[in-house]
Structure 1
Amino acid sequence: MKKLSMLIAGLTLASGVLAGAADQLSVQDPYVRLAPPNAPATGAFMVIRNGGDKDVKVLKADNPVSRVTELHTHLNEGGVMKMRPVAAIEVKAKGEAVLKPGGLHVMMIDLKTPMKEGDVVPITLTLDDGSTKQVDAKVVRPMAAPAPAPMPMMEHKH
């Protein structure tokens, strides 16, 4: 009986460790940008909120639709915007990390199959304590750029 109690206690402790920081995170508005036909990559975006009392780092992401998944950011290098991998995305205690176009994001590289609008991509975020959080991100069409404001008509006097 003592061995059974120790086994149950060990499993309870292990399950608590596996849940860990992931239980303190919530994710709002997750989406994957619909890639143009034959595009090799796309991005996933979301807001990650940390309701806990300790800072949390997202160390990696994974999904079933791309062969490579990386955490990325955009940097301005000499006036040129470039994407670069980052080692982690920090989510401060009681704070949030905003993953958005032109900033931090999950880069999905070497897409295995084309996606279509409305598909749902499960993305697994792995945190610095080893716990994981699954996010279901809907595939959406990129928003079109706003049309330029109309130019005022020039007065012509003939």
Structure 2
Amino acid sequence: MRNIHYRKVSILFALLLGMITNVYATSSITVTDGYIKASIPGTDITAAYMTINNTSDEAITLQKVSSTISDRIEIHEHSMADGMMRMREVGEITIKANSKVVLQPSGLHLMIFSLKQPMKEKSVIPLTLKFSNKTNIKIQLPVRKYK
């Protein structure tokens, strides 16, 4: 009887350890301060901003972003060159170990093209962030007024 109890406890411990390991893998990446700009009337593009935190001991890379609001979301960066502000697609963003990357106006950001509907203030929009370590994070971003 005691042997059966020990086996049950061992199996339960192994299952819990597996769950904790899985949670740890996804909790090493957090997203804070995220929002999407309300779209300007007559346009079908907008941008999204956020802070991505990596608390793991290894660098990770944001490789792709998807959503139901658009089939085309790209990672872009504004930069100053020859006195002119330029925007270019960067493809992916690496977040160093125990570091963060801020996506913000006039810097790194997500460009959302061919919106399926206008982005209206106070809406909440789902995005899925796909990382190099096979982690997918589903987030909900509020839409804020375009300034």
Instruction: Report the TM-score, using the length of structure 1 for normalisation.
Output: 0.75
The 5 Å alignment of 1:138-153 reads 138-143=142-147
Secondary structure of the corresponding residue to residue 64 of structure 1:
coil
Deviations 1:40-87 (A, max 9, x none): 211000011111111111011111112210111112232221211112
Structure-1 separation of matches of 2:78 and 2:25: 27
Runs of 4 or more consecutive aligned structure 1 residues displaced over 4 Å after TM superposition: none
1:134 and 2:102 correspond:
no
Give how far 1:21 is off.
Answer: 4.8
Aligned residues: CA RMSD: 2.2
Query: Structure 1 residues 101 and 60, CA, compared in 2 at 3 Å: closer, same or farther?
Result: same
Q: Which has the larger radius of gyration?
A: 1
Structure-1 separation of matches of 2:85 and 2:74: 18
Which residue in 2 is equivalent to 1:147? none
Q: 1:52 aligns with which of 43, 50, 56?
A: 56
Instruction: Report the TM-score, using the length of structure 2 for normalisation.
Output: 0.80
Structure-2 separation of matches of 1:141 and 1:119: 10
Gaps of 5+ in 2: 1-14
Gaps of 5+ in 1: 1-8, 144-158
Secondary structure of the corresponding residue to residue 71 of structure 2:
strand
Structure-2 separation of matches of 1:23 and 1:104: 23
Which residue in 2 is equivalent to 1:76? 80
Contact in 2 for aligned 1:20/1:129 (Cα 8 Å): no
Identity %: 32
Q: 1:124 aligns with which of 121, 128, 135?
A: 128
Contact in 1 for aligned 2:124/2:143 (Cα 8 Å): yes
